[in-house]
Every structure is written in structure tokens, then in C-alpha cells.
Chain A
């Protein structure tokens, strides 16, 4: 049944969020620490087990796959409900701080990717396309 997949997804999320909330409370932070990440790990583990033992029926899979495929529209709805006016009205300090931190963070991605590459297979060599499209 499709609902089994959706229920499994729900239980993973609720469990992850609860652990994240408790983790936050333990370290004295009023925030959810990694709840979604814990839920993702749990879902991966449980699905892996179920699939290997052959207990994951195709309809169950659909109950998860649907939500995974609805992800981009959800992100569009999220963008449409952001407080864009406040962001722009924040003035130059907010804009400069936001722009600068994004530039520096982008620049750090290849640097950290290169660190510790020895313990991982090399990233794809076609990182830099020969033809510049933009």
C-alpha cells in the first residue's frame, strides 16, 4: 500500500525532528539540531534494510517517491512565501553582508573539496568544461 511508504517517511521525519529538538535542548540551544539530517539517515537505513530483505513492495516505494518528486514545486512555493520585501529593505549592510558571505562561501567549495581527497575517489575530472556557455 502506498500509504505505508508515506507513513514510513512521516515516522522518520518525526523521529529525526524529535531527536534534533532533544539534542538542541541538551546543548542548550533553542533550535532543532540536525533533525532533518537524522531523519534522512534513518530513511536511508530503513529502506536499505527493507529492500535487501525484499520486503519493500513497489506501491510502498511510490508513497515515498511521490514526495521526493514534488520537492521542486515545494521549493517554488517556499520561494514565493519568503519575506523578500524585508530582505531588500534591510539596507546596504544586509545586502553587502549577504553578498559577501555568498561569494566567499562559493570560493571555499573547491578548496575544501580538494582537502582530504586522498580518502575519497577523485571528483569527476570534467569539472571545468572547455566551452564557456554563459
Chain B
């Protein structure tokens, strides 16, 4: 008992190092499972992300917190390792080795996909909310924002003065979207032609959820990550800009 307590102290004090070890072992196990059980058909990183989400669920149930497994004190380093700081750092690093002309060639499709992606998400989200009985423009726009990303939802909702219940719903919708994109992208990729820089850029602009796009592309083909991440990073900003203004006025004029 005493020994376990001492161990716990070490793991907690060096939580980021603990995170490297835990995530490393998780990734190793995932690639092992991928080879043994699926003969590489289900990519190792897809399995690792699934295990990550599962761990997040277990952590959330066990602690009642909001940061998944990172709410367990010993594993708080996972929150740092997977937080915005290191995530963005690693995403930018993936751009190393990318050639400039590949971006230039796809520039316009990237912008089109961003505009279409943001507006379509609001429309789909608002339609679903409408079919569930929401009728006021504020709630419809907020839930629509959640269907864009889990940041656009609450930003739009608080700008428009939505109820906290609706804001929570919009966050949940965004989280579902992000998780689904992470998990399903490798399976859908070949049907939507997601196998080149151009379609990855468009994919990033349409999906918009940076975590979902990053995870989904990593599990599909890591060389596509910088292209998708590039457009996705503009999506949330664009959504926060259009949501409380243009989209809200459009929806208000319709209901």
C-alpha cells in the first residue's frame, strides 16, 4: 500500500513523462492489434484514437470531469500532451516538407469548401434542431453553430444570449461531429476520393473540426494531414464570424 502511494507520487509529479509512456504503450498496443486482428486493414492509429476516446469516456465516468482520462491526477499529463499547445505545435510541424505550389494549385477550392462547409453545417444543424421542436432563431443558430464545431456553437450562443441548455447541446453536437470524423474518415476515404492533397484540403474546409480532421486524416494517410489541417484552422474563425451575424439574420428572417 505504501509502495503504491510512492509510485503514485512519482507518476503524478512527472505527469507529462507518464503521458508519453502511457500513450506510447497505447499506440504500440494499437499497432499490434491492427497487425494481428485486422492484418493492417484497420489502421493502427485509428485503433489508437478509438482507445483514446474509450479512455476519455472511462475517465469522464470515473471522475465526473470534463477532460476525459486527463482528470485522473496521475494522467493529467495526457491533457497537456493532447492540449491545444502541443497539438498546434505538432500540426504546424507536419507542414515541413510540403511544397508551396501544392497549396497554390488548390487555393480556390479550399476557399469554396470553407464557405460551403460553414454555411452547410449551420443549415443542417438548424434543420435538425427545427425537427426536434426548436423554433426560436437564437436556439436554431446556436445548435447550427454546434454542428459547425464545438467552439462555434458556444461562441455563437453566448453572443446571441442562448440558454445554457442550448449551448451545452451545441457543444455536444460539435463533440459528436469531431469524434465521428476521427473514427469514420479512414473507412469513408476511398469512397469520397480522399487520397490526394487537393481533396484533403477540401475535406478540411468542409469538416472544419481541427481535432476531427487531424485525427481522421492521420488514420487515413498521415501525409494528407497538413493539407486538411490548413483549411480546417480557418473554419472555426469563419464560423464565429458568420454565425452571430449573417447566419442569425438569415435564420431569423425565415422563422
Which residues on A are within 8 Å of B, measured CB to CB?
9-10, 12-13, 16-17, 20, 23-24, 27-37, 39-41, 43-45, 47-48, 61, 64-68, 70-102, 104-110, 112-113, 115-116, 119-121, 123-124, 126-129, 133-134
- Residues A120 and B176 in contact, CB atoms below 8 Å apart: no
How far, in whole Å, are A86 and B175 apart by their CA atoms in the complex? 8
Interface contacts (Cβ under 8 Å), in number, total 349
- Residues A71 and B60 in contact, CB atoms below 8 Å apart: no
Contact with A along B169-205 (1 / 0, CB 8 A): 1111111111111101001101111111011001100
Q: Tell me the count of chain B residues lying within 8 A, CB to CB, of chain A.
A: 118
By a CB distance below 8 angstroms, the chain A residues around B96 are 9, 43-44, 47, 61, 64-65, 68
- Residues B237 and A29 in contact, CB atoms below 8 Å apart: yes
Known A37-B230, A48-B100, A112-B206; judge A43-B68 contact (CB<8 A): no
Q: For residue A114, which residue of chain B has the nearest CB?
A: B193
Known A81-B70, A87-B175, A98-B180; judge A108-B89 contact (CB<8 A): no
B114 to chain A, nearest CB (A): 10
- Residues B173 and A37 in contact, CB atoms below 8 Å apart: no
By a CB distance below 8 angstroms, the chain B residues around A81 are 56, 67-70, 78-79, 82-83
- 8 interchain residue pairs of minimum CB distance: A90-B172, A98-B176, A77-B82, A33-B237, A79-B52, A85-B60, A78-B82, A87-B175
By a CB distance below 8 angstroms, the chain B residues around A39 are 88, 92
Q: A93 contacts which of B143, B174, B210, B230 (Cβ < 8 Å)?
A: B143
Q: A16-B92, A121-B105 are in contact. List 13 more A-B contacts (CB 8 A).
A: A37-B234, A67-B93, A79-B52, A80-B53, A80-B68, A82-B211, A87-B172, A96-B132, A100-B128, A104-B120, A106-B184, A109-B199, A113-B198
Q: B229 contacts which of A40, A92, A95, A98 (Cβ < 8 Å)?
A: A40
- Residues A76 and B176 in contact, CB atoms below 8 Å apart: no
Q: B193 contacts which of A35, A65, A127 (Cβ < 8 Å)?
A: A127
How far, in whole Å, are A20 and B67 apart by their CA atoms in the complex? 26
By a CB distance below 8 angstroms, the chain A residues around B238 are 33
Q: A82 contacts which of B48, B53, B124, B241 (Cβ < 8 Å)?
A: B53
How far, in whole Å, are A12 and B89 apart by their CA atoms in the complex? 9
Q: A33 contacts which of B51, B172, B234 (Cβ < 8 Å)?
A: B234
Q: B49 contacts which of A64, A79, A101 (Cβ < 8 Å)?
A: A79
How far, in whole Å, are A96 and B93 apart by their CA atoms in the complex? 35
